[in-house]
A and B are shown apart, each in its own frame.
Chain A
Amino acid sequence: GAGVSQSPSNKVTEKGKDVELRCDPISGHTALYWYRQSLGQGLEFLIYFQGNSAPDKSGLPSDRFSAERTGGSVSTLTIQRTQQEDSAVYLCASSLAEGFGYTFGSGTRLTVV
Protein backbone atom coordinates (compact mmCIF):
# COMPACT_ATOMS: atom_id res chain seq x y z
CA GLY A 1 0.00 0.00 0.00
CA ALA A 2 0.91 3.64 -0.13
CA GLY A 3 1.36 4.01 3.60
CA VAL A 4 1.67 2.12 6.86
CA SER A 5 -1.64 0.57 7.80
CA GLN A 6 -2.62 -0.27 11.35
CA SER A 7 -5.66 -2.14 12.54
CA PRO A 8 -7.87 -1.80 14.36
CA SER A 9 -7.87 1.98 14.66
CA ASN A 10 -9.64 1.74 18.01
CA LYS A 11 -9.94 -1.14 20.43
CA VAL A 12 -11.80 -1.28 23.72
CA THR A 13 -11.13 -4.38 25.76
CA GLU A 14 -11.86 -5.65 29.23
CA LYS A 15 -9.09 -5.91 31.75
CA GLY A 16 -7.52 -9.36 31.64
CA LYS A 17 -8.30 -10.04 27.97
CA ASP A 18 -5.64 -10.49 25.28
CA VAL A 19 -5.40 -8.15 22.31
CA GLU A 20 -3.62 -8.27 18.96
CA LEU A 21 -2.63 -5.15 17.08
CA ARG A 22 -1.61 -5.37 13.45
CA CYS A 23 0.78 -3.34 11.35
CA ASP A 24 1.17 -3.53 7.58
CA PRO A 25 4.36 -1.65 6.67
CA ILE A 26 5.16 -0.16 3.30
CA SER A 27 6.21 -2.91 0.91
CA GLY A 28 9.98 -3.31 0.81
CA HIS A 29 10.64 -1.48 4.07
CA THR A 30 13.13 -3.49 6.06
CA ALA A 31 12.87 -1.65 9.39
CA LEU A 32 9.74 -1.70 11.54
CA TYR A 33 9.14 -0.14 14.93
CA TRP A 34 6.42 -0.27 17.54
CA TYR A 35 5.94 2.63 19.96
CA ARG A 36 3.25 3.55 22.41
CA GLN A 37 2.13 6.97 23.50
CA SER A 38 0.08 7.77 26.54
CA LEU A 39 -2.06 10.89 26.60
CA GLY A 40 0.10 14.01 26.43
CA GLN A 41 3.34 12.06 26.58
CA GLY A 42 6.20 11.35 24.21
CA LEU A 43 6.74 8.13 22.30
CA GLU A 44 7.88 5.12 24.27
CA PHE A 45 9.95 2.68 22.22
CA LEU A 46 8.71 -0.92 22.41
CA ILE A 47 10.40 -3.11 19.78
CA TYR A 48 12.45 -2.80 16.58
CA PHE A 49 12.74 -5.22 13.66
CA GLN A 50 15.52 -4.76 11.11
CA GLY A 51 15.64 -7.16 8.19
CA ASN A 52 16.53 -10.68 9.26
CA SER A 53 18.33 -9.60 12.41
CA ALA A 54 17.05 -10.57 15.84
CA PRO A 55 14.55 -7.92 16.99
CA ASP A 56 15.48 -5.40 19.65
CA LYS A 57 12.90 -6.10 22.35
CA SER A 58 14.51 -3.93 24.99
CA GLY A 59 11.51 -1.58 25.23
CA LEU A 60 8.81 -4.13 25.94
CA PRO A 61 7.50 -3.19 29.41
CA SER A 62 6.70 -6.71 30.61
CA ASP A 63 6.49 -10.32 29.47
CA ARG A 64 2.81 -9.73 28.72
CA PHE A 65 3.96 -7.92 25.59
CA SER A 66 5.28 -9.72 22.53
CA ALA A 67 5.61 -8.98 18.84
CA GLU A 68 6.46 -10.84 15.71
CA ARG A 69 7.07 -9.98 12.12
CA THR A 70 6.19 -12.65 9.63
CA GLY A 71 8.06 -12.91 6.34
CA GLY A 72 9.69 -9.56 6.91
CA SER A 73 6.39 -7.81 6.33
CA VAL A 74 3.29 -7.73 8.56
CA SER A 75 3.85 -7.35 12.27
CA THR A 76 1.56 -8.22 15.17
CA LEU A 77 1.89 -6.80 18.68
CA THR A 78 0.20 -8.97 21.28
CA ILE A 79 -0.67 -7.86 24.80
CA GLN A 80 -1.78 -10.62 27.12
CA ARG A 81 -3.91 -10.14 30.22
CA THR A 82 -4.36 -6.44 29.53
CA GLN A 83 -4.20 -3.94 32.37
CA GLN A 84 -5.62 -0.43 32.57
CA GLU A 85 -2.13 1.05 32.36
CA ASP A 86 -1.80 -0.51 28.90
CA SER A 87 -4.30 2.05 27.61
CA ALA A 88 -2.46 4.18 25.05
CA VAL A 89 -2.07 4.78 21.34
CA TYR A 90 0.16 2.12 19.79
CA LEU A 91 2.09 3.39 16.78
CA CYS A 92 3.89 1.43 14.10
CA ALA A 93 6.50 2.90 11.75
CA SER A 94 8.56 1.49 8.90
CA SER A 95 11.58 2.65 6.94
CA LEU A 96 13.26 1.62 3.72
CA ALA A 97 16.64 1.43 5.43
CA GLU A 98 18.82 3.30 7.86
CA GLY A 99 19.45 6.82 6.76
CA PHE A 100 15.86 7.26 5.64
CA GLY A 101 12.95 8.79 7.47
CA TYR A 102 10.23 6.70 9.04
CA THR A 103 6.62 6.51 7.88
CA PHE A 104 4.13 6.14 10.71
CA GLY A 105 0.73 4.54 10.70
CA SER A 106 -2.25 6.31 12.25
CA GLY A 107 -2.03 4.13 15.33
CA THR A 108 -4.35 1.94 17.34
CA ARG A 109 -6.02 3.58 20.33
CA LEU A 110 -6.31 0.88 22.99
CA THR A 111 -8.62 1.42 25.92
CA VAL A 112 -8.67 -1.15 28.71
CA VAL A 113 -11.77 -0.93 30.89
Chain B
Amino acid sequence: SQQGEEDPQALSIQEGENATMNCSYKTSINNLQWYRQNSGRGLVHLILIRSNEREKHSGRLRVTLDTSKKSSSLLITASRAADTASYFCAPHPGANSKLTFGKGITLSVRP
Protein backbone atom coordinates (compact mmCIF):
# COMPACT_ATOMS: atom_id res chain seq x y z
CA SER B 1 0.00 0.00 0.00
CA GLN B 2 1.05 3.59 -0.23
CA GLN B 3 -0.26 6.89 0.92
CA GLY B 4 -0.12 10.25 -0.73
CA GLU B 5 1.74 13.15 0.74
CA GLU B 6 -0.16 16.38 0.42
CA ASP B 7 1.44 19.78 0.12
CA PRO B 8 1.15 22.35 1.59
CA GLN B 9 -0.08 21.22 5.00
CA ALA B 10 -2.17 24.36 5.36
CA LEU B 11 -3.40 26.98 2.92
CA SER B 12 -5.23 30.23 3.60
CA ILE B 13 -6.69 32.26 0.76
CA GLN B 14 -9.24 34.99 0.13
CA GLU B 15 -12.65 34.14 -1.25
CA GLY B 16 -12.60 34.27 -5.03
CA GLU B 17 -8.96 33.21 -5.32
CA ASN B 18 -7.87 29.86 -6.68
CA ALA B 19 -6.50 27.15 -4.41
CA THR B 20 -3.91 24.68 -5.61
CA MET B 21 -3.11 21.57 -3.59
CA ASN B 22 -0.49 18.99 -4.47
CA CYS B 23 -0.05 15.30 -3.84
CA SER B 24 2.96 13.07 -4.37
CA TYR B 25 3.17 9.30 -4.15
CA LYS B 26 5.84 6.65 -4.49
CA THR B 27 4.72 3.62 -6.51
CA SER B 28 2.58 2.92 -9.56
CA ILE B 29 -1.14 3.50 -9.32
CA ASN B 30 -4.36 2.43 -10.95
CA ASN B 31 -6.14 5.65 -10.01
CA LEU B 32 -5.86 8.58 -7.62
CA GLN B 33 -8.75 10.01 -5.64
CA TRP B 34 -9.33 13.31 -3.88
CA TYR B 35 -11.60 13.69 -0.87
CA ARG B 36 -12.85 16.56 1.28
CA GLN B 37 -13.58 16.42 5.00
CA ASN B 38 -15.58 18.95 6.94
CA SER B 39 -15.44 19.16 10.73
CA GLY B 40 -13.72 15.83 11.40
CA ARG B 41 -16.49 13.53 10.18
CA GLY B 42 -16.91 11.45 7.06
CA LEU B 43 -14.96 12.20 3.91
CA VAL B 44 -16.69 13.14 0.70
CA HIS B 45 -15.38 11.77 -2.58
CA LEU B 46 -14.60 14.64 -4.96
CA ILE B 47 -12.99 13.17 -8.03
CA LEU B 48 -11.17 10.08 -9.30
CA ILE B 49 -8.56 10.24 -12.04
CA ARG B 50 -7.29 7.08 -13.68
CA SER B 51 -3.65 6.42 -14.46
CA ASN B 52 -4.23 6.85 -18.20
CA GLU B 53 -5.84 10.27 -17.72
CA ARG B 54 -3.93 13.53 -17.44
CA GLU B 55 -6.64 15.98 -16.49
CA LYS B 56 -10.19 15.87 -15.24
CA HIS B 57 -12.76 18.54 -14.43
CA SER B 58 -15.78 18.59 -12.17
CA GLY B 59 -17.47 21.93 -11.68
CA ARG B 60 -14.92 24.27 -10.08
CA LEU B 61 -12.49 21.40 -9.53
CA ARG B 62 -9.64 20.54 -11.86
CA VAL B 63 -7.37 17.60 -11.18
CA THR B 64 -4.17 16.80 -13.03
CA LEU B 65 -2.07 13.66 -12.87
CA ASP B 66 1.53 13.26 -13.93
CA THR B 67 2.47 9.60 -13.56
CA SER B 68 6.06 10.26 -14.65
CA LYS B 69 6.51 12.58 -11.69
CA LYS B 70 4.17 10.57 -9.47
CA SER B 71 2.22 13.68 -8.60
CA SER B 72 -1.25 15.12 -8.79
CA SER B 73 -2.75 18.52 -8.16
CA LEU B 74 -6.22 19.68 -7.21
CA LEU B 75 -7.22 23.17 -8.27
CA ILE B 76 -10.32 24.82 -6.85
CA THR B 77 -11.22 27.89 -8.86
CA ALA B 78 -13.12 30.91 -7.55
CA SER B 79 -13.01 29.60 -4.00
CA ARG B 80 -15.85 30.13 -1.55
CA ALA B 81 -15.94 30.19 2.23
CA ALA B 82 -17.81 26.87 2.05
CA ASP B 83 -14.71 25.28 0.50
CA THR B 84 -13.02 25.57 3.90
CA ALA B 85 -12.21 21.97 4.80
CA SER B 86 -9.44 19.38 4.88
CA TYR B 87 -8.51 17.80 1.56
CA PHE B 88 -6.94 14.37 1.15
CA CYS B 89 -5.48 12.54 -1.80
CA ALA B 90 -5.54 8.75 -1.98
CA PRO B 91 -3.39 7.02 -4.60
CA HIS B 92 -4.86 3.58 -5.31
CA PRO B 93 -2.42 0.87 -6.44
CA GLY B 94 -5.18 -1.28 -7.91
CA ALA B 95 -6.26 -4.89 -7.55
CA ASN B 96 -6.88 -5.99 -3.97
CA SER B 97 -4.92 -3.08 -2.58
CA LYS B 98 -6.06 -0.91 0.26
CA LEU B 99 -6.76 2.79 -0.03
CA THR B 100 -4.68 4.82 2.38
CA PHE B 101 -4.63 8.54 3.14
CA GLY B 102 -2.04 11.11 4.03
CA LYS B 103 -2.38 13.81 6.67
CA GLY B 104 -4.35 16.10 4.40
CA ILE B 105 -4.31 19.81 3.60
CA THR B 106 -6.25 22.28 5.71
CA LEU B 107 -7.76 24.91 3.44
CA SER B 108 -9.17 28.09 4.92
CA VAL B 109 -11.07 30.44 2.64
CA ARG B 110 -11.54 33.89 4.18
CA PRO B 111 -14.78 35.66 3.33
Contact = CB atoms under 8 A, between A and B. Distances in A.
B42 A104 contact: yes
A101 B41 contact: no
Contact of B30 (A45, A99, A101): A99
B35 to A, nearest CB: 8
Contact residue range for chain B? 20 to 34
A43 B33 contact: no
Residue of B42, B48, B94, B104 contacting most chain A CB atoms (<10 Å): B42
A95 B48 CA distance: 13
Interface in B61-111: 88, 92, 94-96, 98-104
A37 to B, nearest CB: 7
A98 B1 contact: no
B40 A42 contact: no
Contacts of A4: 42
Interface in B5-62: 30-31, 33, 35, 40-45, 48, 50
B45 A98 contact: no
B41 A42 contact: no
Interface stretch (A12-20, A48-56, A62-70, A73-81): A48-56
Given A99-B30, A99-B50, A101-B33, A89 B40 contact: yes
28 contacts: A4-B42, A33-B98, A37-B40, A41-B103, A42-B102, A42-B103, A43-B43, A45-B1, A45-B99, A45-B100, A45-B101, A48-B98, A50-B96, A53-B96, A58-B98, A59-B98, A93-B42, A98-B30, A98-B92, A98-B95, A99-B30, A99-B48, A99-B50, A101-B45, A103-B45, A105-B42, A106-B42, A107-B41
Interface of A: 4, 33, 35, 37, 39, 41-43, 45, 48, 50, 53, 56, 58-59, 89, 91, 93, 98-107
- The list of the 4 closest CB pairs from A to B, nearest first, reads A101-B45, A104-B42, A42-B103, A43-B101
Given A50-B96, A99-B48, 7 more contacts: A42-B88, A59-B98, A89-B41, A98-B96, A99-B50, A103-B45, A106-B41
